[in-house]
Amino acid sequence: MFFSDGAGFGIEMVQALDAARAHDIAQTQHPTGRLSAVPAELLDGHDRHKLLRA
């Protein structure tokens, strides 16, 4: 999950069966934040911090 909220922004790994469940899990930790679920395999070989900034 990529997240951004009043406390900051970052990347957090969440294990879930699908993107909707991953979003629900992350929402409990960042209730006011913007969230985006990206399957880990799509991030392989990419600079995760560059993607986060984008």
Q: 29-41 b/e with 16+ CB inside 10 Å = b?
A: ebeebebebeeee
pLDDT tens across 8-32, in order?
888 888 899 988 999 899 899 889 8
Radius of gyration of the chain (CA): 11
**pLDDT(38) > 80:** yes
| pTM for the predicted model, two decimal places | 0.68
53, 4, 42, 40 alpha-carbon torsion, rounded to 10°: 130
